[in-house]
Structure 1
Amino acid sequence: MKKITLIAFVLFIGLVKSQAQVKVSPGLRGGLNLSTLTNIDDNRSKTDFYVGGLVNIKFNKYFSLQPEITYSRQGDEGRYFENGRYYSEKYELNYLTLGAVAKFNIGGKGFHILGGPSLDFKISDNYINSNPENFDLAIVGGVGYTLPNGLTFEARIKQGLVDIYGYDGINNDNDYYYDEVILNQVFQIGISYTFKVK
C-alpha cells in the first residue's frame, strides 16, 4: 500500500510540474489565400484572404497545440465559352473554419512544421445554378518560423476532403472515379502574432 501511495504521489508531482510549464497565449492570424478546385477544366486559382484568431498552448519548447477559428475566402476562377468568346468568373466559397494544428519546433528553436485537421462551415457562396455542400473537412500541413517577440511567418497547404457537391468518388458499380471529385485546395501565406500573457 505504501508503494502505491508513493507512486501516486510521484505521478501527481510530475503532473503538477508539467502543467506549470504549459504556456497559453492568445493571438491573431491572417494572410493570403491562393485557392482552386480540383478536376475542373480551364479553371485558375483565385487570390483572396483569410483572417482569424488562435490560442497557442505551448507544452514545452518542442511542441505546442494551436486551436484556431478563421474566416477563409476560397473558391476559384472559372472560364466559360459564350457567344464566340471566353469569359472568366470568380466563384466564391467562404468558410468559417475551426481547426487545431500541432506544431513541432525543430531543435526547440523558431523553425517549426505543423499539421492538423479543420472543419469548415460554408457561410456564403455566389453559385447561381448549383448549391455547394455546407461543410468541408480538410487536412492542413505547413512550415513556419516564430520570432522571439511572438510574430510568426507561415506557409500552409490546405486540402479539402469532401466533394463540394457531395460526390464520394464511387459510381453504381463500386468503381472509384476520384478524377471527378471536386475538392477545395488552398495555399496560404500569412503571419500571426501571439500575445505574451504573464
Structure 2
Amino acid sequence: MRKFVVIAFVLCIGIASSQAQVKVNPGLRGGLNVSTLTNIDDNSSKTDFYVGGLVNIKFNKFFSLQPELTYSRQGDEGREYFNDGSSRSINYELNYLTLGAVAKFNFGGGGFHLLAGPSLDLKVGDNYINSDPEDFDLAIVGGIGYTLPNGLTFEARIKQGLVDIYGYDYYDNDGYYADDAILNQVFQIGISYTFKVK
C-alpha cells in the first residue's frame, strides 16, 4: 500500500509539472485570401479576406498545436456569357466557416516556424445562381511564418481543398476517372496575435 501511495504521488507531481510547461494562449487572426477554383476555363483568382480566432497550445519551444475558427471568403473570378455572344466578369463567392488545427514546428525554438494541418470548411454562403456548390469542404493547409516575442505573427499559407465543390463523378464513356475535379485553392497571407495569459 505504501508503494502505491508513493507511486501515485510521484505520478501526480510529474503530471502537474508537465502540464505547467504547456502554455495556452488565445488569439486573433486575419489577412488576405487569393483564391481560385481548379479546372475551370476562363477563370482567374479572386482577392478577399479571412478573419477569426485561435488558441495556441505550446507544448515546448519546438512544437505547438493551434486550433482555429475562421470566416474565409473564397471563390474565383469567372465570366458570365450571354446569348448575344457578349460576356462580363463576375466574382463567384464561396464563404466558409473553417474549423482547423495546425501543428507548428519552430526552427531551433526561435520565431521561424513551419505549419501544417487539416481543416473542415462549412459553407455559410455563395452567390451561385445556376448551380449549388457542396455545403462543405475538407482541406489541407501548409505554410511558413515568423512570431515576434510580443505574440505578433506573420504567416503565408497555401490551402488545398479536397472535395469537388460540385460533387461531380467525372467518368467518361469508357468508365475511366477524369482528373477534372473543381477544387478550392487559396493562398493566404496575414497576421495573428496571441494574448499573454498568466
Q: What TM-score do the two structures reach when normalised by structure 2?
A: 0.92
Quote how far apart the aligned CAs of 1:20 are: 0.8
Counterpart amino acid of residue 149 in structure 1: N
User: Aligned residues: percent identity?
Assistant: 79
The answer as to 2:130 corresponding to 1:124 is no
Distance 1:149 1:176 in 2: 51
Q: Which residue of 2 aligns with 1:161?
A: 162
Q: Which residue of 1 aligns with 2:68?
A: 68
Quote how far apart the aligned CAs of 1:10 are: 4.8
State the superposition RMSD in angstroms: 2.0
Distance 2:169 2:88 in 1: 30
Q: Secondary structure at the match of 2:131?
A: coil
- Give the total of aligned pairs: 197
Distance 1:111 1:129 in 2: 45
Quote how far apart the aligned CAs of 1:17 are: 1.7
Residues 38 and 74 of structure 1, relative CA distance in 2, 3 Å threshold: same
Quote how far apart the aligned CAs of 1:176 are: 2.2
Counterpart amino acid of residue 85 in structure 1: S
Using the TM superposition, name which of 117-126 and 13-22 deviates more. 13-22
Q: Which residue of 2 aligns with 1:98?
A: 99
Quote how far apart the aligned CAs of 1:81 are: 3.8
Residues 63 and 129 of structure 1, relative CA distance in 2, 3 Å threshold: same
Q: Which residue of 1 aligns with 2:35?
A: 35
Unaligned runs of 5+ in 2: none
Quote how far apart the aligned CAs of 1:11 are: 4.8
Q: Which residue of 1 aligns with 2:186?
A: 186
Counterpart amino acid of residue 43 in structure 2: N
Q: What TM-score do the two structures reach when normalised by structure 1?
A: 0.92
Q: Secondary structure at the match of 2:19?
A: helix
Unaligned runs of 5+ in 1: none
